[in-house]
């Protein structure tokens, strides 16, 4: 039996080589892997002894040879294949241990020449050849599989199911690898082919999904350095599916609102948002918006949580506090709750540029909603400068509220978020009914889409709201404009719809 070993990730390769030799397996290797094994004192042959040809073109060509691929691909139970390799002097390769050039690391460094040189050709070719002929050849691509390979070889326990499992992992690796390369060239050219490729690498299994009866796992997209890429859980329970799912929009909104923004979120929709003079001020204002819904929710803080802010946050039950950082004093307070998840976030990372939704057999892909809201005054009365600031604030928040959505705000803090209603006016009614004693006088209203009727304006006037921002575009826009003029309210068209379903 003979094994070909050629790896970039050399974790455990010396031990594997020794274990294989102890089992009587002859070894062939290439380049740095050969040197590593040879230096460890294990007898190994160089690839040139098989190919009868030296490595050329700075190592670009070393295993692309019929003496390699013939030895891997020939069918051991096919007489014509056996006679062909015997006639040509091709020797069998029964075990292939290969992993690939570190394209992703080169991509992160950003050097174009280094990126291209780290597109592996020989490695994927050997992996695919061995995986195709898995019935006769063992293909091992993951160092974590070395121990099992040795144990099975010792116990003569190499069945077809095991071979197929290794082949599955091998083809998954090459597909993943090619997907990252394809996305690099897509980004480089700014063009799209008819094939859309994504490669995700599993990070961990989660306890369950949205509900205990659903399985779930967390995967990483190595091509994207997004807001969730570098999060660091520094304290608390293991993150759940719902934790990750809720944290993402909270971080995106906090990033969009800028320094000192605090976003309280529950079940995928903001329940309290504010931008104050500091993190403490922002938190108090966000908490005051909806002190009930924030219970058991999460906080995203675009700033550093200090002792003063931590003391207030510590007073209620929260699932997560995610922030740029925490002072030593803040950590001393917050870590008293052993289950509270504390997460550090790099808000300098970009938000992803597209969203993916998997349906039953179909996939929807759309660009992220980065629509810029304009200020087009359409009423006789003009909003004040302070109202314009609040209008734009409300419109940023409403992008993250489930549709149909309404956000009422004043002084750069939300006074109410109406989410997920079948009728737009119902979203505003839910704010009015839930906060019966709240003073909405002089507040502004942001809507994620146009008003098909003037009923929302009428209710807003009844509540004391003074200014409205909405996309416009309804055939009945004039009805709403006329109502605003009748009530002495101002209205702004943003020209950007922000549905979030």
Question: For 122-179, what is each residue's pLDDT tens digit?
Answer: 889 999 999 999 999 999 999 999 999 999 999 999 999 999 999 999 999 999 999 9
Q: What are phi and psi of 412, to 5 degrees?
A: 60, 35
Average pLDDT over residues 234-245: 94
Paired sense of beta strands 406-409 and 414-418, if any:
antiparallel
Residue holding tokens 């709403």? 480
pLDDT in tens, 80-132: 998 988 889 889 999 999 999 888 888 888 788 888 988 888 889 999 999 99
312 is catalytic: no
Task: Dig out the tokens for 435 from the structure.
Answer: 């906060």
Q: Which entry of 132, 314, 344, 434 is annotated as an active-site residue?
A: 132
Closest to 33 (Cα-Cα) out of 58, 4, 10, 67: 10
Our answer to whether residue 132 is catalytic in this structure is: yes
First to last CA, the chain: 58
To the nearest 10°, report the CA torsion of 158, 164, 166, 168.
-170
pTM: 0.86
Asked if 139 contacts 162 with a C-beta cutoff of 8 angstroms, the reply is no
Higher model confidence: residue 152 or residue 373?
A: 152
Catalytic residue among 237, 267, 308, 344: 267
């Amino acid at each position: 039996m003979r094994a070909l070993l050629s790896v970039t990730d050399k974790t455990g390769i010396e031990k594997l080589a020794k274990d294989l030799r102890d089992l009587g397996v002859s070894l062939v290797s290439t380049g740095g892997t050969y040197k590593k094994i040879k230096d460890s004192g294990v007898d190994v042959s160089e690839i040139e002894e098989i190919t009868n040809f030296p490595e050329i073109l700075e190592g670009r060509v070393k295993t692309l040879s019929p003496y390699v691929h013939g030895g891997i691909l020939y069918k051991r139970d096919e007489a014509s294949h056996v006679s062909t390799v015997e006639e040509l002097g091709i020797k069998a390769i029964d075990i292939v241990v290969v992993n690939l050039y570190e394209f992703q690391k080169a991509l992160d460094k950003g050097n174009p020449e280094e990126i291209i040189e780290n597109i592996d050709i020989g490695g994927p070719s050997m992996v695919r050849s061995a995986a195709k002929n898995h019935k006769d050849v063992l293909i091992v691509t993951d160092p974590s599989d070395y121990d099992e390979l040795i144990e099975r070889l010792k116990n003569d326990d190499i069945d077809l199911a095991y071979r197929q499992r290794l082949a599955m992992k091998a083809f998954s690796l090459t597909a993943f690898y090619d997907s990252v390369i394809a996305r690099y060239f897509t980004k480089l050219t700014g063009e799209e082919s008819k094939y859309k490729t994504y490669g995700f690498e599993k990070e961990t299994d989660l306890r369950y999904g949205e509900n205990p009866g659903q399985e779930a796992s967390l995967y990483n997209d190595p091509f994207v350095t997004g807001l969730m890429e570098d999060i660091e859980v520094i304290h608390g329970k293991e993150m759940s599916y719902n934790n990750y799912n809720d944290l993402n929009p909270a971080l995106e909104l906090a990033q969009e609102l800028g320094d000192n923004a605090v976003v309280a979120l529950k079940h995928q929709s903001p329940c309290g948002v504010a931008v104050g003079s500091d993190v403490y001020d922002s938190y108090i204002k966000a908490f005051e918006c909806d002190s009930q819904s924030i219970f058991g929710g999460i906080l995203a803080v675009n700033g550093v949580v200090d002792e003063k802010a931590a003391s207030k946050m510590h007073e209620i039950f929260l699932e997560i506090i995610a922030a740029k950082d925490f002072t030593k004093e803040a950590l001393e307070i917050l870590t008293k709750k052993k289950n509270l998840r504390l997460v550090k976030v790099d808000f300098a990372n970009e938000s992803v540029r597209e969203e993916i939704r998997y349906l039953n057999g179909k996939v929807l892909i759309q660009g992220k909603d980065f629509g810029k809201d304009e200020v087009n005054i359409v009423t006789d009365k003009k909003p004040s400068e302070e109202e314009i600031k609040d209008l734009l604030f409300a419109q940023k928040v409403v992008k993250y509220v489930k549709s149909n959505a309404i956000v009422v705000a004043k002084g750069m803090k939300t006074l109410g978020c109406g989410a997920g209603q079948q009728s737009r006016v119902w979203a505003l009614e839910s704010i009015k009914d839930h906060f019966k004693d709240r003073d909405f006088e002089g507040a502004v209203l942001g809507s994620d889409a146009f008003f098909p009727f003037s009923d929302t304006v009428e209710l807003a006037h009844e509540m004391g709201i003074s200014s409205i921002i909405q996309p416009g575009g309804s055939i009945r826009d004039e009805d709403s404009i006329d109502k605003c003029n009748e009530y002495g309210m101002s209205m702004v068209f943003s020209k950007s719809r922000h549905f979030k379903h």
